[in-house]
Amino acid sequence: MAPANQPARRAVRGTVTPSRIAPRVSRVTRRPVSPIALIPRPQHLDELDEPPFVLGETSTVVVEPRPELIQTGVLTADLFGRLSGRAIEVRYAGAEPAPGAIVLTRTGPVADGGPGADETYQVVVRAGRVEVRSPSVAGLVHGVVTLRQLATVEEGSVRIPAVRIQDAPRFAWRGLSIDVARHFFGVEDLKGVIGLMAHYKLNVLHLHLTDDQGWRLHVPSRPKLTELSSDSAVGGDRGGFYTPGDFAALTEYAAARGIRVVPEIDVPGHVNAALHAYGELTPSGEPTDAYDGIEVGFSRLHADLPATQPFLEAVFTDVAAMTAGEHVHIGGDEVLTMEPEEYARFVALASQVVRAAGKKVVGWQEIAQTPLEPGTVVQYWDTRVDPEPFVRAAREGALLLMSPGSKSYLDMKYDPTFPLGLEWAGHIEVRDSYDWEPTTLVEGVPAESVVGVEAAVWTETLRTVDDLTTMLLPRLAAVAEVAWTPPQARDWADFRTRVAQHGRFWDHLGVAWHRSPQVDWTTRP
């Protein structure tokens, strides 16, 4: 039960830039396919018995003149403009829109608002007009990406089949965690991933910003973290870091697509980058050497050193100030050389600092072995452990975020021969990442305590954006459907035929992906 007794996670252990999301599609002629291949599968979809909507010369995007809606309108016009190869104007709502309008309307709040209720959206596509309605920007974005998934292009003509869709997410937290510490991925790379996340209606980008190999976010009150510990990465590869300006730009880019950013500063383990920058955090007072291997569990902070508490206060206060969303992640995983009592004090201290800075706490599952405040989010990852601490934590008001290594760790190899990835949690083919149920994963935890689902991609072996997207696609689409669609509406055979059509979209974006043999892809290799 002690953190010291946790099994070690790892014995050893790509993306699109906006310029790569270039308008290539209008030059591509595709085989005709059934247009209804939405992922995640929506709650209600009726095909209407009328001709499709055809994006024409007079097509416009219509929004109310409010800043956040104008932004959504511009994104929509940009998306369909690039698809058709023709600029599309954004107009303000008011006058009767010309035929061929895509009208985005923000509605009032949903009355019986359960989790994710503000992300409810409605799409009605008729021959002459498209309507997207939602109480939130995120919901409007869900409606727009739904249109994008429905759209087909034949010789420059963009068509959307006539449908009526009413939809809402099952879980309020649908995330992707990216390890930018083992290998660094810059802002443009992450923007590409954010685009993919939005396409599959994910809404949380969790960034694992610090680890033994590198520190990736500039912290103004502790500048040496990035001055001395950001150049490194696994295997001697190049590192990098985000300035506060970069982080703000990323946050804004994500927010416009309905996605919030959760920063993770991993303590008290996985901290060699911090110990390398600030020697006062080690018992000898000497900084450690930089580290570019892939072992885990060897580095730790010390609760009783005088520099430790000021360090935690400075770092978490600065990070909270840069965070637009409600949550900051304190890590807490794989602290293999700390007694339970010191670990519990440490988690309590880090949590208290985060709360004092006005944020809610997220931590990896090991924190469930310590007393937690209600509302703390415990991120479950290692399925090999005793469920008892999670049951108790849930009973005391903690929420569980489900990231089971054997299903949703998308850095696991697809099969034993796959050139990228690790395999300590097994091999994960598309079906493995699809066929699981978050609320029955941990025996005894009530379904209401499950706040959501998060995929994770650790980057020990992933050096490039192509490596990254090869591991994400197609499995990210599978996990996204687990997070959005209730179990009674999920079916592997059905998902398999839908995802088969998504390869065309990934090809259109120019992203690398894995042609899983479990799927009959509709594109040629």
**DSSP assignment, residue 293?**
S
Does residue 119 belong to the site contacting ligand ACM (CB under 6 A)? no
Residue whose CB is less far from ligand ACM, 52 or 214: 214
| Residue number of the CB atom closest to ligand ACM | 333
372, 375, 402 from 396: Cα distances, Å: 8, 9, 18
Name beta bridge partners: 208: 179, 264
- Residue whose CB is less far from ligand ACM, 139 or 297: 297
182 contacts ligand ACM (rule: CB under 6 A): no
The residues in 323-342 that bind ligand ACM, with binding defined as CB under 6 A, are 333-334
Give me the least distance between CB of 340 and ligand ACM, in Å please: 18
Q: Which of residues 372-391 bind ligand ACM (CB under 6 A)?
A: 381
Spatial neighbors of 512 by CB under 8 A, at least 6 apart, are: 14, 465, 466, 467, 469, 470, 473
Q: Which is nearer to ligand ACM, 318 or 334 (CB)?
A: 334
Smallest gap from residue 246 Cβ to ligand ACM (A):
24
Q: Which is nearer to ligand ACM, 334 or 507 (CB)?
A: 334
9 belongs to the binding site for ligand ACM (CB under 6 A): yes
203, 213 contact by CB (below 8 A):
no
| Amino acid letter, 251 | T
Alpha carbon 199 to chain centroid, angstroms: 11
Q: Give the residue with the Cβ less far from ligand ACM, 379 or 501.
A: 379
CB of 30 to ligand ACM, least distance (A): 39
By CB under 6 A, is residue 505 in contact with ligand ACM?
Answer: no
Q: Closest distance between ligand ACM and the C-beta of residue 269, in Å?
A: 9
Task: Determine contact, residues 408/454, Cβ cutoff 8 Å.
Answer: yes
CA distance 1 to 11: 20
Closer by beta carbon to ligand ACM, 404 or else 503: 404
| CA dist., res. 193 & res. 254, Å (int) | 10
CB 303 within 8 A of CB 336: no
Nearest-angstrom CA–CA distance, 325 and 451: 16
Q: Assess whether 334 carries a catalytic annotation.
A: yes
Strands 152-154 vs 360-364: parallel, antiparallel or unpaired = unpaired
Determine, following the binding rule CB under 6 A, whether residue 184 of this chain makes contact with ligand ACM.
no
Q: Name the active-site residue from 57, 154, 326, 334.
A: 334
Three-state secondary structure readout of 430-486: HHHHHCCCHHHCCCCCCHHHEEEEEEEECCCCCCCHHHHHHHHCCHHHHHHHHHHCC
Q: Check residue 481 for interaction with ligand ACM (CB under 6 A).
A: no
Q: Is 311 in the site for ligand ACM (CB under 6 A)?
A: no
User: Can residue 407 be called a binding residue for ligand ACM (CB under 6 A)?
Assistant: no
Least distance from C-beta 182 to ligand ACM, angstroms? 12
With contacts defined by CB under 6 A, how many residues of the chain interact with ligand ACM?
A: 5
Q: Which residues are catalytic?
A: 334
- Residues near ligand ACM (CB under 6 A) are 9, 333-334, 364, 381
